[in-house]
Amino acid sequence: MSEKAKPPSRLLFYLITLSLFLLILSSLSLRQFGDVSLLPGSVFRLILANDTSINVRPNVQRDSKIKTIPFLSPLSSKTQSPNSGPSSEGAICPPSRSLSCEKNRAVLKVYMYDLPPEFHFGLLGWKGNGNETWPTVNDPRHIPPYPGGLTLQHSMEFWLTLDLLASNAPSVVKACSAVRVENSSEADIFFVPFFSSLSYNRYSKPLGKEKLVLNRILQEKLVQYLLGQDLWKRHGGKDHLIVAHHPNSMLHSRKKLASAMFVLADFGRYPAKVANIEKDIIAPYKHVVRSIPNDQSAKFDQRSILAYFKGAIYRKDGGTIRQELYYLLKDEKDVHFTFGSYGKNGVNKANAGMASSKFCLHIAGDTPSSNRLFDIVATHCVPVIISDEIELPFEDVLDYSDFCVFVHASDAIKPGYLLKLLRGIDRDEWTKMWVRLQEIAPHFEYNYPSKPDDAVDMIWKAVRRKVSAVRLELNRKKRYYRSQPTS
Ligand SMILES: *[C@@H]1O[C@H](CO)[C@@H](O)[C@H](O)[C@H]1NC(C)=O
Ligand SMILES: *[C@@H]1O[C@H](CO)[C@@H](O)[C@H](O)[C@H]1NC(C)=O
Ligand SMILES: *[C@@H]1O[C@H](CO)[C@@H](O)[C@H](O)[C@H]1NC(C)=O
CA-angle at 392, arms to 391 and 396, nearest 5°: 110
pLDDT score recorded for residue 48:
36
Indicate the burial class of 24 (C-beta count within 10 angstroms; 0-12, 13-18, 19 or more): exposed
**Distance of CA 222 from the midpoint of ligand 2 (Å):** 24
The answer, yes or no, to whether any atom of ligand 2 lies below 6 A from the CB of 131, is yes
CA 392 to chain centre: 8
Using the predicted structure, report yes or no on whether residue 65 has a pLDDT greater than 90: no
Least confident stretch, 82-96, 123-137, 164-178: 82-96
Q: Are 313 and 339 in contact (CB under 8 A)?
A: yes
* The model's pTM: 0.77
Q: What pLDDT digit, counting tens, does each position of 365-422 carry?
A: 778 888 899 999 999 999 999 999 899 999 999 999 999 999 999 999 999 999 999 9
Q: Which amino acid appears at position 486 of this protein?
A: T
Q: Which amino acid appears at position 400 of this protein?
A: Y
**Distance of CA 177 from the midpoint of ligand 3 (Å):** 22
Query: Rounded CA gap, 411 and 114, in Å?
Result: 50
Residue bearing the bigger pLDDT, 164 or 350: 164
pLDDT score recorded for residue 53:
30
Ligand 3: which of 88, 109, 185, 231 to mutate, most ligand atoms within 8 Å of CB?
Answer: 185
The answer, yes or no, to whether any atom of ligand 3 lies below 6 A from the CB of 89, is no
Query: How many helices and strands, by DSSP H and E, does the chain display?
Result: 14, 13
DSSP string, 289-332: SPPPPGGG---GGG--EEEEEEE-S--STTTHHHHHHHHHHTT-
Nearest to 437 by CA among 357, 323, 320: 357
Q: What pLDDT digit, counting tens, does each position of 95-111 carry?
A: 343 445 666 677 899 99
Using the predicted structure, report yes or no on whether residue 73 has a pLDDT greater than 70: no
Alpha helix segments (H runs only) across 388-454:
409-412, 417-423, 427-440
Ligand 1 surroundings by CB, under 6 angstroms: 50, 52
CA-angle at 345, arms to 343 and 346, nearest 5°: 55
DSSP letter (8 states) at residue 281? E
Q: How confident is the model at residue 346 (pLDDT cuts 50, 70, 90)?
A: confident
Q: Are 184 and 111 in contact (CB under 8 A)?
A: yes
Query: Rounded CA gap, 241 and 226, in Å?
Result: 12
